[in-house]
Amino acid sequence: MSIIGAGNLASHLYRTFIHNDEIQLEKIFSRKAGRLSFVQENELKSHSLEELGDPDIIFLAVKDEAIVEVAQKLSIKNGFFVHCSGGNELKVLSEFENHGVFYPLQTFSKDKRIDFRNIPICIEANSEENLQKLKDFASLVSEKVFEVDSEKRRALHLAAVFVNNFTNHLYTIASDFCSENGIPFDILKPLMKETVSKLDTLPPYSAQTGPAIRNDKKTIMAHMEMLNEEHKKIYKLLTASIQKIHGKEL
Amino acid sequence: MSIIGAGNLASHLYRTFIHNDEIQLEKIFSRKAGRLSFVQENELKSHSLEELGDPDIIFLAVKDEAIVEVAQKLSIKNGFFVHCSGGNELKVLSEFENHGVFYPLQTFSKDKRIDFRNIPICIEANSEENLQKLKDFASLVSEKVFEVDSEKRRALHLAAVFVNNFTNHLYTIASDFCSENGIPFDILKPLMKETVSKLDTLPPYSAQTGPAIRNDKKTIMAHMEMLNEEHKKIYKLLTASIQKIHGKEL
C-alpha cells in the first residue's frame, strides 16, 4: 500500500497499516516534509509523486476538495487508486484504469487514537475484480465492510454531518455555556453518552425528551432569555423542528 | 422515601429505590391507578395524597409544569419535599418548611433501564441540615453528587437541552434520512459513539471536523441540494454557526 496525504485520516491509515502484520506500507507522500513528522520510518516518507513504489493500492487520503487536483498530477495511471471521501463520487477517479473508494465512516483527529476494527468501511470500485481486491484489503483492517454505491455514500456522508459535525457543535455551545457559568463540562458527559447508548434499544424518534416535545412553554421561554441572539436562533429552529416532527406544532 | 409521580423519572426512581437495601420506599403516588402498572407491590401504590406515609423525603417526580400545582394540593406541609427538575428554582417549594432539589442529570425513558450510580445528582436545599440529609441520601444511589444552586442548575439544564434533546433530534433527522435512502441507521453508531468518546481527550472546539470548518463550499452546496426546506434551514444555520465560532466566516 501507499498513502498520499498527511492529514488526520492519512495519519490514522499510516498507524493502522504499520501495526498490521498482513499489510506492507511502501510509501506515504506529502509535498511538505514537515507534515510527515508522525511517520517514524524515514524510508517510508516520500515527497515526490514519482516515488510511490509499486503498491497494490494507492490511498488518496487528501481533503475532499483536493482529490481531483492530486489525481491529475499523478503521472502513473496504471495503479489502483482509491479515494477516502464520503462526498465524492467514484467517477472522480475515472481517468485511472483501476479506481475505487475506501470510505471509513468515522471522525479522525490527529491526537486521538482509534481502533479501525470497529469502523464501518464503505467500499466501491470500478470492476468486480477491484471490488474484491478492496474488500479483501478492507477486511484486514475492519470487521465492518460494506459495499456502498456513490449515491448512498453521499446520503451517508450527509447523515454523518448531522450526527457528528452538528452534534459536536452543539457540544461546543454547551461547553462554552458551562464555562460562562462556572460549571465543569464533564458533568454533562454521562448524559451525552446515554443519549447515544439509549439508541441501542430505542429509535431516536422514541428517545426524544425535553421541553420541546412536552411543549413546556415556560421552560422554553426561560431558556431563550438566557441565550445570545445566535444561539437563540438555533434553539428556536431545533425546538420548532422537534415540535413539528412530533405533532406538537403550535 | 415516597415518590409522587408515575412518569419516566418516577419509574426509574422506584426501581432504583426498591433495589437498594439501604432505602425503604413507603409509597408511590399517582392519581390514576393505571399509570402505576410498573409497580409490582400493591401495598406501595397510593392514589391519595393523604396516604404518603411518613417518609424522610418526598420526591416530587412530576412534570416541570406540574410541580407547583401538585405542591399546592399537598395537605401535609411538614415533610421534606424535593423536586427533581433542572429548570425550576428551589423556591418553587418555599411554602414547605423543609424543601430541596434532587436533579439527576440524565435522560430517562420508561423502557430503557439505567444505572443510577453513574448519574450526576445535583442537590440543593433550604438549610444546611436538609442539604446534608439530601447529600447522605443521594450518595446511597449515586457516586456523583454535586451541590448546585438554582442559577447554575438552570444553566446546566439549558446545556443539557443542547447536548441531549437537540442532539437526539439531529439523530432522528439522520435516521429518517437513512431510511429514505435504504441505509441501516446502525452503520452510523460507531461514529456517534466516537463523537462523544473523543471528548475524553479533546475539548469539543478542537474535535470539530467536517465541510463547515474546512469551508468546503462544494460539499456544503451538494448537501443543501439533498435536503428539504426545513432541514436545509438547520444545515445552513449550524454550518454558519460552526464557521463563525471557528473564524471561517464568509
The CATH number covering residue A56 comes to 3.40.50.720
- In this structure, the answer to whether residues A117 and A157 fall within a common structural domain is no
What is the domain range of residue B74? 2-148
Q: Note the pLDDT of residue B170.
A: 98
Sheet strand arrangement including B121-125 = B45-46, B27-29, B2-4, B58-60, B80-83, B98-104, B121-125, B145-147
Do the domain assignments include residue B22?
yes
Chain B residues inside the 8 Å CB shell of A190: 105-106, 118-120, 144
Angstrom distance (rounded) from CA B152 to CA A226: 12
Contact flag A64-B172 (C-beta cutoff 8 Å):
no
Contact A159, B192 (CB under 8 A): no
Please determine, for residue A68, whether its predicted confidence score (pLDDT) is greater than 90: no
The count of structural domains within chain B is: 2
Q: Note the pLDDT of residue A78.
A: 79
Give the torsion sign (CA, B199, B203, B206, B211).
Answer: positive
C-alpha to C-alpha distances, A206 to B12, B38, B85, nearest whole angstrom: 17, 19, 21
Contact B109, B8 (CB under 8 A): yes
Average pLDDT on B119-131 reads 97
Do the domain assignments include residue A250?
no
Contact flag B192-A119 (C-beta cutoff 8 Å):
no
Please determine, for residue A249, whether its predicted confidence score (pLDDT) is greater than 70: no
Angstrom distance (rounded) from CA A32 to CA B168: 41
Do the domain assignments include residue A70?
yes
C-alpha to C-alpha distances, B231 to A159, A216, B225, nearest whole angstrom: 11, 23, 11
Please determine, for residue B250, whether its predicted confidence score (pLDDT) is greater than 80: no
**b/e sequence B162-173, b meaning 16+ C-beta within 10 Å:** bbbbbbbbbbbb
Q: Note the pLDDT of residue B249.
A: 62
Chain B residues inside the 8 Å CB shell of A220: none
Side chain identity at residue B216, one-letter code: D
In A, minimum Cα distance to B226 occurs at: A155
pLDDT over 70, % of chain A: 99
Average pLDDT on B232-241 reads 98
Average pLDDT on B206-218 reads 92
**Mean pLDDT for all residues in chain A:** 93
> Which among B148, B170, B199 is the end of a domain?
B148
- In this structure, the answer to whether residues B173 and B140 fall within a common structural domain is no
Looking at A23-37, A67-81, B17-31, which range is the least confident one? A67-81
- In this structure, the answer to whether residues B117 and B180 fall within a common structural domain is no
Contact flag B175-A63 (C-beta cutoff 8 Å):
no
Contact flag B205-A241 (C-beta cutoff 8 Å):
no
Residue B141 burial (CB < 10 Å; 0-12/13-18/19+)?
buried
Contact flag A170-B167 (C-beta cutoff 8 Å):
yes
Q: Note the pLDDT of residue A197.
A: 95
Average pLDDT on B216-234 reads 95
Please determine, for residue B135, whether its predicted confidence score (pLDDT) is greater than 80: yes
The DSSP code for A210 is S
Closest-CA distance of chain B to residue A197, Å: 8
Angstrom distance (rounded) from CA B179 to CA B184: 7
Name which of B109, B195, B244 is nearest A198 (Cβ-Cβ): B109
| DSSP bridge pairs for A146 | A122
| Other residues' Cβ atoms within 10 Å of the Cβ of residue B146 | 20
Side chain identity at residue B96, one-letter code: F
Name which of A144, A203, A238 is nearest B175 (Cβ-Cβ): A203
| Other residues' Cβ atoms within 10 Å of the Cβ of residue B113 | 10
- In this structure, the answer to whether residues B140 and B74 fall within a common structural domain is yes
pLDDT band at A250 (very low <50, low <70, confident <90, very high): low
Closest-CA distance of chain B to residue A102, Å: 15
- In this structure, the answer to whether residues B8 and B102 fall within a common structural domain is yes
Please determine, for residue B49, whether its predicted confidence score (pLDDT) is greater than 90: no
Closest-CA distance of chain B to residue A43, Å: 31
- In this structure, the answer to whether residues B13 and B90 fall within a common structural domain is yes
Contact B80, B99 (CB under 8 A): yes
Angstrom distance (rounded) from CA A120 to CA B100: 47
- In this structure, the answer to whether residues B61 and B136 fall within a common structural domain is yes
Average pLDDT on A193-214 reads 94
Please determine, for residue A161, whether its predicted confidence score (pLDDT) is greater than 90: yes
Average pLDDT on A176-200 reads 96
- In this structure, the answer to whether residues B70 and B21 fall within a common structural domain is yes
Q: Which of B119, B168, B218, B232 to mutate to test the interface with A (most CBs of A within 10 A)?
A: B168
**Mean pLDDT for all residues in chain B:** 93
Q: Note the pLDDT of residue B248.
A: 78
Side chain identity at residue A32, one-letter code: K
Here the cell at position B229 is 426546506
Average pLDDT on B146-175 reads 97
Residue A71 burial (CB < 10 Å; 0-12/13-18/19+)?
buried
- In this structure, the answer to whether residues A105 and A168 fall within a common structural domain is no
> Which among A148, A181, A212 is the end of a domain?
A148
Please state whether beta strands B2-4 and B27-29 pair in parallel, antiparallel, or not at all (unpaired): parallel
Residues 6+ positions from A140 with CB-CB distance below 8 Å: A20, A22, A23
Q: Which of A233, A178, A235, A195 is nearest to A212 (CA)?
A: A235
The DSSP code for A106 is S
- In this structure, the answer to whether residues B123 and B59 fall within a common structural domain is yes
Contact flag B188-A159 (C-beta cutoff 8 Å):
yes
Q: Note the pLDDT of residue A75.
A: 76
C-alpha to C-alpha distances, A94 to A74, A125, A128, B175, B184, nearest whole angstrom: 13, 10, 15, 32, 28
Q: Which of A163, A179, A214 is nearest to B65 (CA)?
A: A214
> Which among B131, B148, B165 is the end of a domain?
B148
Contact flag B245-A169 (C-beta cutoff 8 Å):
yes
Contact A27, A47 (CB under 8 A): no
Chain A residues inside the 8 Å CB shell of B166: 170, 234-235, 238, 242
Sheet strand arrangement including A98-104 = A45-46, A27-29, A2-4, A58-60, A80-83, A98-104, A121-125, A145-147
- In this structure, the answer to whether residues B32 and B144 fall within a common structural domain is yes
DSSP states along A3-71: EE--SHHHHHHHHHHHT-TT----EEE-SSGGGGTT---GGGEE-STT---S-S-EEE-S-GGGHHHHH
Looking at A229-233, B85-89, B233-237, which range is the least confident one? B85-89
Contact B38, B3 (CB under 8 A): no
Name which of B118, B148, B208 is nearest A168 (Cβ-Cβ): B208
- In this structure, the answer to whether residues A67 and A173 fall within a common structural domain is no
Please state whether beta strands B121-125 and B98-104 pair in parallel, antiparallel, or not at all (unpaired): antiparallel
